[in-house]
Amino acid sequence: MNENFDGQYGRRTQPCYSNINAYNQIFVDTVRRAGGNNSSRWLLVPGWNTNIDYTAGNYGFRLPADQYRSPSIPSAEKRIMISVHYYAPWDFAGEENGRITQWGRGSTNPTKKSTWEQDDYLDSRLELMRDRR
């Protein structure tokens, strides 16, 4: 699934989180019980709208339980990854007008550099995902 949401990018509702959580749980259970290497493979589940903040923030997204994971996998080792998209800063990552072509600490041309959501913001979003466990 990609960017699973209710058609409203900025609107997060509990029923929507309940749906994505249920879909992800069904996916994990189905794959794990399918036989072969499926009980030990890494699985990728999407966050809410694959939005990093809506997924890692305290809005209702949860990792699926992994009750059918192979007993050969150490109990402390998780085998589920979360898929999110990160398009910040938008003027660098998303706009197609070519005005902004540089971003971050390595930028050399101030007229081509995005001036918002710099390296420290990216670091904070990645930390949010890491700490989401």
pLDDT per residue as tens digits for the range 59-90: 999 999 999 999 999 989 999 999 998 889 99
Confidence tier at 9 by pLDDT (50, 70, 90): low
Query: pLDDT tens for residues 16-43?
Result: 889 999 999 999 999 999 999 999 999 9
Per-residue pLDDT for 13 more than 80?
yes
Which tokens in the block code for residue 82?
A: 């979360």
How far apart, in whole angstroms, are the C-alpha atoms of residue 97 and residue 74? 49
**Percentage of residues in the chain with pLDDT exceeding 90?**
65
Place of tokens 């929507």: 16
pLDDT at 7 over 80: no
Mean pLDDT of the chain: 90
Average pLDDT over residues 38-51: 92
Residue 75, helix vs strand vs coil: coil
Per-residue pLDDT, 50: 83
Tell me the H-state helices in 10-117. Answer: 14-32, 52-56, 90-93
Q: Tell if the pTM clears 0.85, that is, is over it.
A: no
Tell me how far the alpha carbon of residue 36 is from its chain's centroid: 27
Dist CA 69 CA 39 (whole Å): 5
